[in-house]
Structure 1
Amino acid sequence: MSRATVNVLLIVSTLYTLLPLTWLLFASTKSLSDLYSTPGFSFAGFNLFENIRAVAQEGDGVFFRWYLNSVLYAGLGAAVSSFVTVMCGYAFDKYSWFAKEKMFGLVLLGVLVPTTATAVPLYLLASKVGVVNTFWSVFVPVLVHPFGVYLARVLSAGYVPGEVLEAARSDGAGELRTFASVALPMLLPAYVTIFLFQFTAIWNNFFLPLVMLSDQRLYPLSLGLYGWEKQGNAFPEFHSLVITGSLLSVVPLLLVFVSLQRFWKAGMTAGSVK
């Protein structure tokens, strides 16, 4: 295709991606009456701060409790999950053991299984352990990231030279020291990439909390906003709360991507053989 055609396709794709967010931005600035009486992509006054105040006051500030829950689930969960995933990918790449490839095949099978299909089995396991309706029932399952293991293995094979590891071992470094001091800095872009994938997936996670949680104080934002949306059928003012809350829920994703993009775009070979 010509350059002009490619540019047109990229522009159309970008506009299509930004269209819902743009509508959300316009809608969150409107009062409830203006929300239904004015065109979607138009301003009819600026009531954003009033809408945010209404969100903060609803349910004695439960929205920000959901916000904190989502930050813990997604932030802490993605950080731990990405670290474990990078270690697993590094081990699959650099070490040999019995039936390694068969085990890696099982990991790839995990990529093919949709998360919704595992929610009910996870609930039954959590029920046996006695952690249903707790923080751990949502936090522990998100630590498993099969696609991240595959990605970490591929990046480890490409960007962690075996010669560097052998040099570290020759200098007397143990395996843990070699991984932490030599391999992990080279895998930092891989860690950030996996972190971004996992953070987004956990932040948008809905079905697992829906199955696991009944205590509203443990809800993430996705589940809490869903509850408000259901109440909107009887109380229309909840529609305005859901729209403003949805806009606020996008902010952490934008901040994470903006703050980590320099690591994500950094040269994958930084720190390797010169």
Structure 2
Amino acid sequence: MFIPRNVEIIEVGPRDGLQNEPEPISTESKKELIRQLSETGITRMETAAFVSPKWVPQMADANEISQYCNELGITYIALTPNLKALERAIEAKVPQIAVFIGASTAFNKKNINKSTDESLLETEKMFEIAKKHGIFTRAYISMSFSCPYQGEVSFEELDYVCKRFVELEADEIDVGDTNGMANPKIVYEKFSKLKNLYQDAVFVGHFHDTRKMALANTLAAMNAGIDKYDSSIGGLGGCPFSPGATGNLATEDIALMLSEMGVETGVSMEKINKIVPYAKSLSSRVK
């Protein structure tokens, strides 16, 4: 078994964890969650999304949240699904942005009403602009293993998107099990192939716990050489465009597993565990 010495845990609870909550969450409550997380040893967080409040009302306060993150002096990521969103992020002085494209064209059509190729074309322009402004670029590949609208997603479909992101010089490529239907075997196989094909690329694992396999899939990805993972405090989350998908891999779970394995994360288990009740109190879906 390959076990890395160090693993980066990237907290996505303030954005991915809360975006699909049906009841409004106050901006002050989100700020408090971010503040508490910033004191745990976590060095990066995904905190906001510059999306239409009509479609994701929970993220309507992206500007104010970004301003707060700037005041805290933390490194944070904001989701920017299109050029208009990128413009807003630049104005807000966001240090890192994330774009997302599904390996499944069916998912792209449902999610953003564009084909995979149309999405990649817009991403090309976005990366060019972001790099001119010195902004770190994260590229999400959603539905990398299976899709609720088309079923299994082939490695060729995943590689088609990944190869283009590599060509566009994404700073990191986040491979997502967006609906939580992956298993350790397919996770190991796909990540191993990607690592072999793109040896200089930086990959991140993003797992949902729909079938309680998120930790097992993380271990499989680690064996393939992946040393960066997204997680969400309290296991909060769920994709609004992926029916049936439940929460993300819980930050407290991955931090505990890695600690027990002797892997350095820089994250304080004591501080993380103290935050979990507060994080769960913000959700009407996770208790």
TM-score (norm 1): 0.28
TM-score of the aligned structures, taking structure 2 as reference length: 0.27
Larger radius of gyration: 1
